[in-house]
């Protein structure tokens, strides 16, 4: 005759269930943290790209303004309107949004892909520097010219794919007339 003995513990403790639940909670927290970190990294990469576009747009506007300065014949256009400020005009507030309106600045004439709005620039005639041929080189390597040099401050503002990414760049430009 076969006798089967059954063993029934007096009380079950359930420690495996508790340990499994704790491991599940820890793994869930690790997964949520990884997802949150991944989302943050994607946003950071997008913002970095947006800022890069804004920087390129500002550089393009600077080049456009300097090309404009190379084509003018006299400084009579610098009367404080249309983004062209004279030596005696008050300095515009470059951080104010109204400064970069259609009447307060000059819009870049070309096209740029990927930016929300075209870059703009402001040119201010800073003054005239008088020099002699010993300390003034403006036309290139070893070619000395004496005379007055008009200096300009060019400020350009570019935006990225959104208007929240903006870059302001400034350069100084000198030219003899």
At 104-143, the pLDDT tens digits run 889 998 888 888 899 999 999 998 888 665 555 555 555 5
Global confidence as pTM: 0.73
- What's the total number of domains in the chain? 1
Buried b (16+ CB within 10 A) or exposed e, 136-169: beeeeeeeeeeeebbebbbbbbbbbeeeebbbeb
Q: What's the Rg (C-alpha) of the chain? A: 33
**Partners of 167 in beta bridges:** 158
- Exposed/middle/buried for residue 47 (C-beta within 10 Å: 0-12, 13-18, 19+): middle
Q: Is residue 168 within a helix (H) or strand (E), and if so which, with residue range? A: strand 166-175
Predicted pLDDT of residue 145? 58
> In this structure, is residue 144 part of a structural domain?
yes
Instruction: Indicate whether 7 belongs to any domain.
Output: no
Q: What residues make up the domain containing 58?
A: 15-175
Residue 133 lies in a domain: yes
Q: Looking at the domain assignment, is residue 99 inside a domain?
A: yes
């Amino acid at each position: 005759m076969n006798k089967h003995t059954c063993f029934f513990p007096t009380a079950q403790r359930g420690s495996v269930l508790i340990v499994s639940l704790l491991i599940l909670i820890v793994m869930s927290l690790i997964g949520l943290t990884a997802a949150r970190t991944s989302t943050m990294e994607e946003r950071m990469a997008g913002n970095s790209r947006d800022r890069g576009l804004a920087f390129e747009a500002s550089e393009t506007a600077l080049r456009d303004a300097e090309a404009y300065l190379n084509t003018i014949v006299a400084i009579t256009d610098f009367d404080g309107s249309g983004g062209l400020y004279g030596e005696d005009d008050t300095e515009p507030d470059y951080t104010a949004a109204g400064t970069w309106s259609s009447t307060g600045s000059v819009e870049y004439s070309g096209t740029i892909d990927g930016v929300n709005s075209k870059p703009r620039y402001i040119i201010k005639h800073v003054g005239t520097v008088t020099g002699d041929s010993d300390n003034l080189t403006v036309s290139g390597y070893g070619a000395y010219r004496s005379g007055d040099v008009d200096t300009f401050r060019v400020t350009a503002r570019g935006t990225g794919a959104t208007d929240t990414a903006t870059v302001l760049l400034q350069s100084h430009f000198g030219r003899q007339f």
